[in-house]
Structure 1
Amino acid sequence: MSEATNTPDVLYWRQNLVVCLLGSFTTIVAMTLILPFLPLYIEQLGETEHALVVQWSGVAYGATFFTAALVAPLWGKLADLYGRKLMLIRASLGMAIAMSLMGMATEVWHLIALRLLTGLLGGYASGSTVLVATQTPRERTGWALGTLASGIMAGNLVGPLIGGALPPLIGIRQTFWLAGGVIFITFLATMSFIREERRPTARRHAESGGWSAIEDKRPVILMLLAGMLLMLANMSIEPIITVYVAQLVSDPAQVTMVAGIVMSAAALGSILSASRLGKLADTIGHWNVIVAALAVSALLLIPQAFVTEGWQLVLLRFLMGLSLGGLLPCITSVIRHNVPDRVAGNILGYATSSQYAGQVVGPLAGGFIGGHIGMQAVFLGTSAILGLSAIYGWLARPRGQQ
Structure 2
Amino acid sequence: MTTAEPLPRTAGTVGLDRRQVHAVAACYFVASFAALGLPPYLTEILPGLGDRDGHWAGLLYIVPTVFTALGAPLWGRLADRFGQKRLLLRAQLGLAVSFLLAGAADSLPAFTVALVFQGFLGGTFSATNGYLAAALDGSQLSRALTLMQGSARAALVAAPILVGTLSPWIDPHRQYLVLAVLPLTAAVLLNFLPEPVRPVAARTGRDAAEADPPGSLRLLYTFEFAFVFATIISFPYLITLVQQRLPGVNGAVAGLLFALPHLVYLVGAGRVHSAVEARPRTGLAVGFALVALGLAGHAPAHSLLTFALTRAVLGLGMTFGLVCLAVLAAEAARGRAPGRMFGTRETVSKCGAVAAGLAAALANGSSGPAAPVVIGTVAALAAALLALLTRRSPR
TM-score where L is the length of structure 1: 0.88
CA drift of 1:39 comes to: 0.9
Runs of 4+ in 1 over 6 A off after TM superposition: none
**Alignment of structure 1 residues 176-191 onto 2, 5 Å:** 176-191=176-191
CA contact (8 A) 2:13 2:199 kept: no
Comparing 31-40 with 293-302, greater Cα deviation is found at 31-40
Distance in 2 of aligned mates of 1:184 and 1:304? 40
Asked if structure 1 preserves the Cα contact closer than 8 Å seen for 2:135 and 2:197, the reply is no
The equivalent of 1:234 in structure 2 is: 231
Out of 42, 46, 53, the residue aligned to residue 42 of structure 1 is 46
Shift of 1:272: 1.5
Residue aligning to 2:152: 152
Deviations 1:213-238 (A, max 9, x none): 97611211111011111112222122
1:57 aligns with 2:57: yes
Q: Which has more helix, going by share of residues?
A: 1
The one-letter amino acid of 1:266's match is P
Residue in structure 1 matched with residue 355 of structure 2 by the alignment = 361
1:318 and 2:312 matched: yes
Would the alpha carbon gap of residues 60 and 337 (structure 1) be closer, same or farther in structure 2, given more than 3 Å must change? same
Rounded Cα–Cα distance in structure 1 between residues aligned with 2:74 and 2:335: 17
Asked whether the equivalents of residues 269 and 318 of structure 1 are also in contact (C-alpha less than 8 Å), the reply is: yes
- Residue 241 of structure 2 aligns with an amino acid whose one-letter code is Y
* CA displacement at 1:181 relative to structure 2: 1.0
Report SS of the residue matched to 2:197. Answer: coil
Using the alignment, how far apart are the partners of 1:281 and 1:9 within structure 2?
28
* Distance in 2 (alpha carbons) for counterparts of 1:226 and 1:342: 19
Give how far 1:310 is off.
Answer: 4.8
Unaligned runs of 5+ in 2: 1-6
Partner of 1:278: 273
Give the corresponding residue for 1:30. 34
Counterparts of 1:375 and 1:86, CA distance in 2: 44
Q: Secondary structure at the match of 2:50?
A: coil
After superposition, the CA RMSD in angstroms is: 2.5
The Cα of 1:149 is off from its aligned counterpart by 1.5
For 1:35-90, what per-residue CA distance to the aligned partner results, in whole angstroms no more than 9, with x for missing partners? 331111112222234xxx2x511111111110111111112211211111111100
What is the percent sequence identity of the aligned residues?
22
Q: CA, structure 1 residues 195+31, in 2 after alignment: closer, same or farther (shift >3 Å)? A: same
Do the aligned residues in 1 keep the contact of 2:146 with 2:269 (CA within 8 Å)? yes
Give the alignment partner of residue 346 of structure 1, picking from 340, 348, 363: 340
Q: Which residue of 2 aligns with 1:108?
A: 108
Once structures 1 and 2 are overlaid, which stretch shifts more, 75-84 or 238-247? Answer: 238-247
Q: What residue identity is the alignment partner of 1:91?
A: A
Find out whether 1:327 has 2:321 as its counterpart: yes
1:142 aligns with 2:149: no
C-alpha separation between the residues in 2 aligned to 1:168 and 1:74?
Answer: 40
Please report how far the alpha carbon of residue 289 of structure 1 lies from its aligned counterpart in structure 2 after TM superposition: 1.4
Secondary structure in 2 matching 1:389: helix
Deviates more, 1:335-344 or 1:98-107: 335-344
Deviation at 1:202, TM superposition (A): 7.6
Q: Deviations over 1:347-391 (max 9, x none)?
A: 221111100111111112101111112222211110110011000
- Say whether 1:382 aligns with 2:376: yes
The one of 217, 222, 229 equivalent to 2:219 is: 222
Residues 69, 357 of structure 1: 8 Å contact kept: yes
Corresponding position: 1:267 with 2:262 = yes
Q: How many residues align?
A: 384
C-alpha displacement of 1:12: 2.2
Establish whether residue 397 from structure 1 lines up as the match of residue 391 from structure 2: yes
Q: Would you say the 8 A contact 1:22–1:151 is kept in 2?
A: yes
- Paired residues of 2:146 and 2:326 also in contact (CA < 8 A): no
Distance 2:93 2:333 in 1: 30
Q: What letter matches 1:237 in structure 2?
A: S
Preserved CA contact (<8 Å) 2:238 2:369: no
Query: Mind listing any 5+ residue stretches in structure 1 that lack a counterpart?
Result: none
Confirm or deny: 8 A CA contact 1:20 1:128 kept in the other structure.
Answer: yes
Q: 1:12 aligns with which of 9, 16, 27?
A: 16
- Contact kept, 8 Å, 2:226 with 2:352, in 1: the verdict is yes
Q: Deviations over 1:288-337 (max 9, x none)?
A: 21111111111111111122245543442233123212423432432332
Q: Residue in 1 aligned with 2:4?
A: none
TM-score (norm 2): 0.89
Change (3 A) 1:310 1:385: same
Contact 2:273 2:323 in 1 (8 A): yes
Report if aligned partners of 2:135, 2:196 keep a CA contact under 8 Å in 1. Answer: no
Task: Give per-residue Cα distances to partners, 1:95-119, cap 9 Å, x unaligned.
Answer: 0111122112222232222111111
Q: Distance in 2 between matches of 1:366 and 1:85?
A: 37
1:118 corresponding residue in structure 2: 118
**In 1, Cα distance between equivalents of 2:333 and 2:140:** 17
Separation in 2, partners of 1:214, 1:140: 16
